[in-house]
Structure 1
């Protein structure tokens, strides 16, 4: 069974990497709340929560922008 949610990037924080040179980017996402009928439907099913994603490769962090929306699928791994 897979559960799908829709999250929106709320903030991106850059800090010094703890494991060597470079930066770590922390992307904070929260469930969508409005903006479309689809977002309202997702909000009705997932009214709260957050995802904090910390990435070191700059090319990964650069794929996220504040305000951007993402589908997040939760699928059992085992």
Structure 2
């Protein structure tokens, strides 16, 4: 199985109300972080890593709604992240 690596930058994080299943199975309100990411930009240096990623993926967007606040804490606007993408088996 092959894997493709992309490099994205976090553009913004906003907070809103979401919902999650509670201990009794009923939905309950919770805080949700909306994380917006886009591919990194090339910087004009053909040897720079971001330029190489930008040449392969010059546009796109990834939006995540995260209710696991510990996981959401890893995202910081302006920081860059690798996204490793591989095919998943259908369930």
**Corresponding residue of 2:19:** 18
Instruction: Could you tell me which runs of 5 or more consecutive residues in structure 1 were left unpaired when the two chains were aligned.
Output: none
Matched residues, number: 78
**Corresponding residue of 2:36:** 28
Between Structure 1 and Structure 2, whose CA radius of gyration is higher? 2
Q: Provide TM-score, normalisation by structure 1.
A: 0.90
Mapped partners of 1:59, 1:77: distance in 2: 25
**Corresponding residue of 2:87:** 76
**Corresponding residue of 2:3:** 2
The CA RMSD over aligned residues, in Å, is 1.5
SS across alignment from 2:5? strand
Structure with the bigger percentage of strand = 2
From 60, 73, 82, the equivalent of 1:62 is 73
Shift of 1:57: 1.7
Is structure 2 residue 49 aligned with structure 1 residue 38?
Answer: yes
Shift of 1:18: 3.1
Q: Which segments of structure 1 move beyond 4 Å, counting only runs of 4 or more?
A: none
Shift of 1:2: 1.0
